[in-house]
Amino acid sequence: MKAENDIKSNNNTLPESGILAKSRHQRPDFSQKPHAHRYYSIMYVVSGVGACTIKDTDHTLKTDSLILLPGGLVHMLKDRPRKNMTVFSIYFDPPKAETDKEICDYLFQGDAPFTVPVYYAKQLRQTIRQMLHEQQSKPAGYHLAIRQYLGQIMLQLYRLQLKNRSQSESKKDDSQARAKETLEHISSNYFENLSLPEAAKMSKLSQRQFSSMCKKITGKSFVQFVNTVRIEKSVELLTNTETPVAAIAFEVGYEELSTFYRAFKKLHKVSPLKFRTTH
């Protein structure tokens, strides 16, 4: 694989930012020889199916699998015939890339690949695209931008790993637990415009199953749940800040002020302005 060979054979292949993003080329032989990277690497499977051998242990890889490898760790990738993997790799030198040492040490203490949930995968893919654009087009300050994008990726993965390691495998395999986890994500990220189909996909459930779970867990439909979370956050802002109502509507996730007013009045029977003056 050309990208890994370049990194392995040349100690000076990293640019000024201390970070290099590469795509993995598909090969007709479906395998490669064991090798190690000089630098830390984050390998993300965008599509395809295969395996990764690390310390003589085989790990299955699929779309949205992610591998975190410290420098010097011997490994080998292998594609499944006719299902070649497309892998984007980010190589970096932690001191030069100015990564957070605590987060870096935590992330790279293990060596088993894991699957990134849909809602993290969406953010991860977008950040990698931004990083590749900066690396290729090289606008003013692109070294700083690339470091910031790597920091963003590592922070996302750090939060994900903290969450994963606090949950048992049996809980993650339970449909109700997955739905609850998605609802908790929505509660924390209420400003995102997440549709019912997207939320169901995040939970690995059908829309009907997810809607049923949402009703069971919250007592509300999906739309009612999202509106309730957003409106209660707006109540906090109306009560504790002087932020204009239009700005609050935007901050909590509403694109149209009229939609915010309707949702607010449905829950509190008065307009946001009236609520602010009476509380």
In this structure, what CATH number is given to the domain that contains residue 28?
Answer: 2.60.120.280
Q: Distance from CA of residue 214 to its chain's centroid?
A: 22
Query: CA neighbours within 13 Å on the CB side: how many for 179?
Result: 23
Where does residue 84 fall: left (phi above 0), alpha (psi -120 to 50 degrees), or beta otherwise?
beta
What are φ and ψ of residue 11, in 5° steps? -75, -10
Q: Are residues 195 and 61 in the same domain?
A: no
Q: Are residues 177 and 158 in the same domain?
A: no
What are φ and ψ of residue 88, in 5° steps? -105, 130
Token representation of residue 267: 């829950």
CATH code, 251: 1.10.10.60
Q: Which of 97, 131, 165 is the last residue of a domain?
A: 165
Query: What is the reported pLDDT for 167?
Result: 58
Query: What is the reported pLDDT for 123?
Result: 85
Q: Are residues 207 and 229 in the same domain?
A: no
Which residue range(s) make up the domain with 201?
Answer: 169-219
The per-residue pLDDT string of the chain (279 residues; one tens digit each, 9 = 90 and over) reads: 344 444 443 344 788 889 999 887 555 445 568 888 899 999 999 988 999 999 888 999 999 999 999 999 999 888 888 888 889 999 999 999 999 999 999 999 877 898 888 778 888 998 999 999 999 999 999 999 999 999 999 998 998 888 777 654 445 458 888 899 899 989 988 988 889 998 998 888 899 999 999 999 999 999 999 999 999 999 999 999 999 999 999 999 999 999 999 999 999 999 999 999 988
Q: Which of 142, 165, 188 is the last residue of a domain?
A: 165
Query: What is the reported pLDDT for 151?
Result: 95
Q: Are residues 144 and 20 in the same domain?
A: yes
What is the pTM assigned to this prediction? 0.65
Contact predicate 52/44, CB 8 Å? no
Number of domains in the chain: 3
